[in-house]
Amino acid sequence: MNSLIRALERGPILVGLVGGWLVAPLILGSCYEVFSRYVLGRPTIWAFEAGTLLTGANFLLGMAYTLRAGAHIRVEALYDLFSEKVRAAIDFLGYVLLAFPFVCWLTWALNNNWIKAYASNEHSGMSAFNMVLWPIRLVFFISFLVLALQMLAEILKRARILFGTKA
C-alpha cells in the first residue's frame, strides 16, 4: 500500500511545481503591462486576461499539493483534542462520504467541459484579446483529477491508521 500511496502522491508534486512556476510569467506580464501603460502610454490587450487565467491556474494546480502537505484550512479547536484514530476516522468519513465523490463528479464534468470548449473553439470574451478557453478548462480538469488522486491517497493513509497498519 505504501508504494501505491507514493505513486498517487507524485502527481501533486509535479502539478504543484508547474503551478508555482506560473507565478514567474504572471509577474513578468504584470510588470510589462505597468511599464507599457504608464511609461510608453500603450496598454496591452492581453495582460489583464492572461493575468486572470494564470492566477486561476496557479491556484487550481496547487490544490492537490496543498492537500498533500496538510496545509488546507481546518478548524482545529476540537480536532486536535481527539486521538489519532478518531482524527483519522473523521478525515476518512469526510473524504469518502463528501469530498471524494464530489471531486470525482466535478472531474468528470470538467473533462466534458474542456472537450466541448476545444470542439467549439470557445473564446473568453473577457477582453479584446479574446483568448481561447480550452487550455484553461484543461487545467481545471487536470487539477481536479490530481486532487481526486491525492484524496484517494489520503483515504488510504487514514485507512492504514484506522485498521492498525500504521500507528
Burial 90-121 (b: 16+ CB within 10 A, else e): ebbeebeeebbeebbebbeebbebbeebeeee
Count of beta carbons in the 10 Å neighbourhood of residue 167: 7
For 44-77, write each residue's pLDDT tens digit. Answer: 999 999 999 999 999 999 999 999 999 888 888 8
Of all residues in the chain, the percent with pLDDT exceeding 90 is 87
pTM: 0.91
Residue 167 pLDDT more than 50? no
Please state which of the ranges 124-133, 138-147, 157-166 shows the lowest mean pLDDT: 157-166
Question: Which of 102, 96, 111, 117 is CA-nearest to residue 141?
Answer: 111
